[in-house]
Amino acid sequence: MMTGTMPLYGDVPVGEWRYYNNYGPDTYKVIDCKDKVYYVCDRNLYGYDKKSGETYGYNLVNGLNDVVVDNIFYNNASGLLVVLYDNGNIDVITDAGDIVNVGDIKDASNIGDRSLNDVAFSGSDCYVAGNFGIVRIDLKNFLVKESAVFNRPVSAVTVADGKLVVSIDGCLMYKPFDVRLSDIDRYVVLDQSGAVSMEAVSDRLMIATDGKDSYSVELDFAEGRAVKKRIAGASDYVMICDGKALLANRDEYGIVDASGTVKTYKIPENVRKQGNTRCHSITSDGSMWYINTCGLGHFTAEGVVDVLPARPQATFLDTGAWYIAADPLNDKIYVSNRSSRNDLRFYNENGPMTLTEIEAGFTRDVTPASDEVTLRNHNSGGRLKTGFNIAVDRKEEGVIYIGTWYEGIFRFKDGRQTDKYDWTNMPAELDYILAFPAVAIDLQNNLWCYGYNAKGDITIAVLPDSRRTPGSVAATDWIVLDIDGFGSFDARNTIILPCMSPQNKDIVLISDGYRDRNLVTYHTGANVESTSDDRYNVRNMFYDQDGKPFGPVCIFAMAEDKSGAVWVGTDNGVFVIKHPADMLDVSCPIERVKVPRNDGTSYADYLLGNMSVTAVSVDGSNRKWLGTNTSGVYVVSADGKEILYNFNTDNGFLPSDEVLSLLCDPRGNSVYIGTRAGVVEYGCDALPAAEDYSEISAYPNPVRTGYSGDVVIKGLKEGSLVKIADAAGNVFYQTRSQGGMARWNVTSASGRRVATGVYYVLVSSAGSGHESVVTKILVVN
C-alpha cells in the first residue's frame, strides 16, 4: 500500500488516498482550547486555528487511528485533547499536533461492550468511563496504569477533592483514595440516582445532568451523601470552562459558578434557526463558540454574531454517501444520501435531502433549500426530504434529476430547482406518497423513471428529451410502459440501467430489487416515443453457463463494462449478462464467474459467492470494482477470474467495510467509495483510453529530488506499448498501458534511480509496430 504526502486538491496520485470529512446535520460538541477550537460533527473531528482562521479535518489519511468519533475532552492543564471512538479506541492530540494512540480498550479480549461514555482528568491521569468499567491512563507516557472491568455501565465520571466520583448503573458513588479502581465493593454510595454527564466546580460541588434535568450536587464525602438541587432543564452535557460549568441545549445555555448560581443566556434566534446548535463558553462574560448546520461561529454575550458560521471543506451528507454519480460533460462528481435500500439497512424517507458536489478535491454543498423548492404534498411537512438516486443530464451541464418519496421527481441545476414532475404533470396519482426510487438518463438523453404510490399503483415511464423543456411538461408528454408481470409496491432498491454501448443502445434493464426480485430486459424498438415495436422479458430465475438454476436473487447494483457486458451485484455474489439483448430470450443463460483456486486442483469458486455485492463500477482498463456489505472493496480482472486487490479497514484507508456506493471516474483515474462515514477517493492505475495520442502528458514533470513515486504517462490508447529511452536513444524500460495510463518507477534497467537528465517516452499503438517520441520527462536528482 503506497502512502505519503497527499496533495490537498487536484489529482490523487496512483496508489494513494484522499479522505473527505463529512460535516452533516448531526452536530455534537465544540471545545475551546488555547489556540484552537475543536468540534465534532457527524462523528468527524475538526480543529479551527484561531490565528490563521484555517480549519483542519482530522481523518485516517492525516493521522487519526480510527473513524467514528464518539466524543472529545480537553485537559487545559496539559494541553491534550482526548478523542473517543465508537469501538473503544482512543487518540490523544497534543497542542503541537502530535497524535498518540491508546488502543488498549479496543484490543482488550476481556471486554464485551467497548462503548466509552465520559472522561475526567486528575493531574497527569485520565479516567475513561465506559459500559465495561473504568480505565486510568497516564497521559505523560500514554499507558494504561489501572483498569477495572465491572461489566456494568459507568455513564459519567469526575474528580472532586482528589476523589473519583462515578455514576454506575444509575447510582452515584465515590472511590476513597486508598481503594483500588477495581474494588467496586468498597466504593461509597452517595445517592441512588445517577448522571450521564457531570463536572466538579469545587471540592464539594458538582454540576450534573441526567438527560432530563440538570442539578447542582453538594458532596459530603465524610457522611457519604449527596444533596441534589434542580437548577435547569435538560442539557446535552456538562463542560468545565474558566472554572465554571456550562449547561447548554439547542435553545439556551447556563453558566454555573462554584456556589451553584446559574446565569442563563438565550441562544440568539438567528443562530438557533439554522438548526442543531451546540455551544461552548470561552469566558465568564457569556460569549460563545458554537456549531450548527452552517458551521462554526461565535457570538458575544449580547447575542451578536461576531464570527459568521463557516463550514469546513467537507461533504455535507446525512447518514452517509449512498449514491455517487459523474457529470459526463465536466469533471464534477455528485454525492447524495438516500431514502432507502432493499435490504433495509437504511430507511429514512423523513430525513433531510443532502447533496454534495466534488471537483478536483474541492467539495460544495448544493443541497436545495426547502423554502426554494415546490412542495405540494402536505405529508412532506414543508421540508425537502431525502431523495433516491441521481440521474445526470447528458446535454446540459450541472443538471441532475432526483426521485423522492413524497414529491415525485425534481430537476435541479447547480443546486436550484428548475422543474418538478409529480401528479400535476405526470401520468401518476398521489396517494399519501408519490415515490420514485429510480430515475435514469439513457444514451439519447431520455429520462426513465419507476414510481408508485401508497395504493400500489406502479408508474414506469419515459420522458423524451425532446419534450423536457423546463416548465412546459404535461402528463401527455410521458411514454408509459405497460410491462406485464413487473412492478411492485415498496420496491426500495429499484435500478434502471440504460445500456450505452452501440450493440446495446436500445436495451434498458430494470430491477425491482426487493419484493418480487424481478429483472426486466426492455427493448425500446426503433423509437422510444413509440411502444408499438417494443419487446421485453421479465425474469427472476436464471440459468448459468453450466445449466444450474440461480435465483431469485436480490439485486443491489448493475454496471455495463467496456465490452457491453452487464455485471450484476446481488446478495449472493456476482453474475454477468454477456449480451443484454439476448436476455429477451427466456432461455438465455447468465454467467456466474468462477475464480480458480490455483492450488494445484481444477477447482474454482464463484466470484464473491455468498457475499452481498452492494456496488459495481468499471475502471479505465475494464477491471471491475465490487463493493460489499461486510468486506470492503474487491478489484478483479476484466474477466473477473482473478481477484487483484481487496481494500478494507485493515489494509487501507476505508472508513468502513460496509460499502454503499462506488464510482470509477469516467474521465480520470479516481475511484470514489461511499460509506456511512463518508467518501474516500483512491488513485487507481488505470485511466479511460484515449482515441488518439494528441494529449499525452506525464506527471510529475519535472521529477524533483525526493520524489519516490511513479511517473504517470496518460492520454494513451488502449494497450499502447510505452518505452522509456535515455538521451542516446537507448531503451531501458517498457510496459503496456492500463486503459489510458502507463507508469514508470524512475529507475534504470538495473533497478536504480536514473541519473539527472531528459528521458524520452516512445509510444506505439497495439499491433502497429510504429513508435514515435510523444513527450519528454526531466529528472532532477
Tens digits of per-residue pLDDT, 718-766?
Answer: 889 999 999 999 999 999 998 899 999 999 999 999 999 999 999 998 7
- 418 lies in the same domain as 535: yes
The residue range of the domain holding 460 is 315-540
**Over residues 605-630, mean pLDDT:** 96
Q: Has residue 70 got a pLDDT over 50?
A: yes
User: Is 762 within a domain?
Assistant: yes
Q: Cα–Cα distance between 612 and 625 in angstroms, integer?
A: 14
Instruction: State whether 588 and 652 are in the same domain.
Output: yes
Q: Is residue 326 part of a domain?
A: yes
Does residue 673 share a domain with residue 710?
Answer: no
For the stretch 319-330, pLDDT in tens is 899 999 999 999
Q: How sure is the predictor about 772, in pLDDT bands with cuts at 50, 70 and 90?
A: confident
Residue 610 lies in a domain: yes
Q: Is residue 334 part of a domain?
A: yes
Q: What is the DSSP letter of 529?
A: T
Same domain, 759 and 628: no
Amino acid at residue number 365: D
Would you say residue 302 lies in a domain? no
- Looking at residues 368-380, what average pLDDT do you find? 95
* pLDDT tens column, 112-132: 899 999 999 999 999 999 999
Looking at the structure, do residues 681 and 706 belong to the same domain, yes or no? no
Mean pLDDT of 43-62: 95
Q: Dump pLDDT digits (tens) for 193-249.
A: 999 999 999 999 999 999 899 999 999 999 999 999 999 998 988 998 778 899 988
On the question of pLDDT at 563 being above 80, the answer is yes
Does some domain include residue 21?
no
Among 540, 574, 607, the domain-final residue is 540
The domain spanning residue 736 has which CATH number?
Answer: 2.60.40.4070
**DSSP E strand boundaries for 233-327:** 238-241, 244-248, 252-256, 262-266, 278-281, 288-292, 295-299, 305-310, 323-326
| Confidence check: pLDDT of 333 > 90 | yes
Q: Is the per-residue pLDDT at 774 higher than 80?
A: yes
Assess contact for 322 and 660: CB atoms under 8 A: yes
How many CA atoms lie less than 13 Å away from 61 in the CB half-sphere? 22
Distances (CA, A) of 781 to 681, 702, 708, 713, 744: 31, 10, 11, 20, 16
Based on the fold, state whether residues 570 and 677 are members of the same structural domain: yes
**249 or 521, greater pLDDT:** 521
526 and 496 co-located in one domain: yes
Per the structure, how many domains does the chain have? 3
Mean pLDDT, residues 87-94 taken together: 97
Q: Which of 686, 718, 734 is the last residue of a domain?
A: 686
Average pLDDT estimate for 186-197:
94
Are 338 and 398 contained in the same domain? yes
Q: List the beta strands (DSSP E) in 512-623.
A: 519-523, 535-539, 542-543, 549-550, 555-560, 566-570, 573-577, 594-596, 604-606, 613-618
- Of 540, 574, 590, the position where a domain reaches its end is 540
pLDDT, residue 569, reads: 96
Task: Flag the least confident range among 192-196, 324-328, 467-471, 489-493.
Answer: 489-493
CATH of the domain at 599: 2.130.10.10
One domain for residues 754 and 681: no
Alpha carbons within 13 angstroms on the beta-carbon side of residue 17 total: 21
| C-alpha closest to that of 291 among 41, 43, 71, 72 | 41
Same domain, 677 and 570: yes
Distance CA 628, CA 570 (A): 10
For residue 402, tell me if it sits in a domain: yes
Whether residues 591 and 505 fall in one domain:
no
Confidence at 340, pLDDT banded by 50, 70, 90: low
Considering only residues 492 and 555, tell me which one the structure prediction assigns the higher pLDDT: 555
pLDDT of 280 higher than 70: yes
pLDDT for 682 equals 96
Do 380 and 486 sit in the same domain of this protein?
Answer: yes
Tell me the average pLDDT across 392-408. 96
**Does a structural domain hold residue 288?**
no
643-669 pLDDT per residue, tens: 999 999 999 899 999 999 999 999 999
DSSP 269: H
Type of residue found at 734 = Q
Confidence grade of residue 573 (pLDDT, cut at 50, 70, 90): very high
Under the banding of pLDDT at 50, 70 and 90, the label for residue 347 is: low
Cα separation values, 398 from 222, 389, 547, Å: 70, 16, 46
Q: Give the span between the Cα atoms of 84 and 705, in whole angstroms.
A: 40
Cell of residue 118, nine digits: 465520559
pLDDT of residue 2: 28
State the average pLDDT for the chain.
Answer: 91
